[in-house]
Structure 1
Amino acid sequence: MSQLKALTKNQIKFLRAEAHSLKPVVMIGNNGVTEAVMEELDRALAHHELVKVKIRAEDREDKAEIIEYLCSHSNAHKIHTIGHNLVLYRKAKEPKLVLPKK
């Protein structure tokens, strides 16, 4: 995958605020990360840019591996995790969100 351009602290803060009211659009359950999950995540990121993912993994190491896999294979930024929810951002070809410059 291509190298991501780092986001600034202000951009991450902005995206966290934008994500606060979002509902999870992708759910990862007992089957883990499947091809169908990755396709759905790709569609969601292409359409929304900013998405919440619900991860049902009890073990912290498993959850961390899933998060790393999702970020690297979807070419998305990890914005925030809290509990079982993960917020991912990937700039769309036609951006909907205007990030702060700094």
Structure 2
Amino acid sequence: MKLRGKQKRYLRSEAHHLKPIFQIGKDGLSEVWLDEVLKALDKRELLKVNILQNSLVEVEDVKEFIENNSDAQVIQTIGNVLVLFKKSDKAENQKISVKVAEL
């Protein structure tokens, strides 16, 4: 799902009040970590990821890893925080994606 500017703006405003629920530390990125993020995205559709200062990976590396290995989209990066969006596969969890589709 390719997002337009208006849709991204809406998602950024929805993510503003969210706290990061995933962190990337010195162990870096792995398929197991990505699977957990995708499970959470299937329930929430929108979440934040924080890259800790002791991490060996950069923000651009994380963005590239997520977008190449999943269908989740990085909506915004602010410092060491990424905002991720993925439309849920389950209809009962599709609260945000329904509003995004209307824009």
Same fold (TM over 0.5): yes
What is residue 91 of structure 1 aligned with on the other side?
A: 87
Do the aligned partners of 1:26 and 1:40 also contact (CA within 8 Å) in 2? no
CA 23–39 in structure 1, closer or farther in 2 if over 3 Å, else same: same
Show structure 1 runs of 4+ deviating over 6 A: none
Do the aligned partners of 2:25 and 2:54 also contact (CA within 8 Å) in 1? no
Do the aligned partners of 2:73 and 2:84 also contact (CA within 8 Å) in 1? yes
Partner SS for 2:13: helix
Q: Give, in angstroms, the shift of residue 56 of structure 1.
A: 2.6
What is residue 43 of structure 1 aligned with on the other side?
A: 39
Q: Give, in angstroms, the shift of residue 84 of structure 1.
A: 0.8
Gaps of 5+ in 1: none
Q: Give, in angstroms, the shift of residue 39 of structure 1.
A: 1.9
More helix by share: 2
Do the aligned partners of 1:28 and 1:54 also contact (CA within 8 Å) in 2? yes
What is residue 75 of structure 2 aligned with on the other side?
A: 79
Q: Give, in angstroms, the shift of residue 12 of structure 1.
A: 0.2
- Provide the rounded CA distance (Å) in 1 between the counterparts of 2:25 and 2:54: 11
1:25-64 matched pairs, under 5 angstroms: 25-56=21-52, 62-64=58-60
- Provide the rounded CA distance (Å) in 1 between the counterparts of 2:59 and 2:76: 13
What is residue 7 of structure 1 aligned with on the other side?
A: 3
